[in-house]
Structure 1
Amino acid sequence: MLVHQLLANEGILLIRPDGPIAAGDFELVAKTVDPYIENKGTLRGVMIEAPSFPGWDSFAALMSHLCFVRDHHRFVAKVAAVSDSPILSIAPEIAKHFVQAEVRHFNATDRDAALAWLRE
């Protein structure tokens, strides 16, 4: 499950996995961000906050995640991965080959720095 919150006045989407990601999770996120993107054009940033990477509960969930990234990455300026997970710490190196957004990793204790970076 993904817990998400759109800071509409700042154009920042906060995402926090609360257990394995399900196929419908990104549909719910899209229902939140798509109207904002239609109105404003872009998101300033996305902060993914995950102490550890919970994975996906099914192959359909993985595909839903990949489709969400494919459909939305052009509308996001920055992505902050806030985690001590080894998987998420290498995310910026992997993501730069697939997304237009600037992606940066922050340790779990650096949440405030990540949010400040997104606000720049």
Structure 2
Amino acid sequence: MTIIFKEIEIVEEGKLIHLTIAGKLEKEDYDIFAPKIDQQIKQYGKINLLVELIDFHGWTAGAAWEDTKLGVRHFNDIERLAIVGDKTWEKGMAYFSKAFTLAKVRYFDISERDEAEAWIREAQ
């Protein structure tokens, strides 16, 4: 039996949103954090996202579709996107995501987490 643990933590600080995601994302998870992103963009205009992936297992098909819709909806609304992870494919995902946003996108290894946060905060 496979049990996949999932946890999503959202920290909002001005125009910075820090998402910590563990496990596998499902379509319903976007109901949790997408409205927060929408709200911050409405309030601040462009925002910065720090996405920290901890023991991340990817997306279901429905979640991938929600992610695509979120990216299209906010193509111009994200100034910087820092992705922190520990898997090679996550680094590839960061480069792939550049096609869906005008944001400056950077990948940081988990050992560079503090550097990622500093880079995101430069834009504050």
**Which TM-score tier does this pair reach, normalised by the shorter chain?**
0.7 to 0.9
Unmatched 5+ residue regions in structure 2?
1-5
Question: Structure 2 matches for 1:1-120, cutoff 5 A?
Answer: 1=6, 3-9=8-14, 11-43=15-47, 45-56=48-59, 58-120=60-122
Is this contact kept in 1: 2:10–2:20, CA < 8 A? no
- Report the structure, 1 or 2, having the larger strand content: 2
Paired residue total: 117
Shift of 1:92: 3.5
Secondary structure of the structure 2 residue equivalent to 1:115 = helix
| TM-score between both structures, scaled by the size of structure 1 | 0.85
Distance 1:69 1:4 in 2: 20
- 1:8-41 C-alpha deviation (Å, 9 max, x unpaired): 33x1111122211010111221221222211211
Q: 1:98 to 1:34 in 2, by over 3 A?
A: closer
| TM-score between both structures, scaled by the size of structure 2 | 0.82
**Percentage of matched positions with identical amino acids:** 24
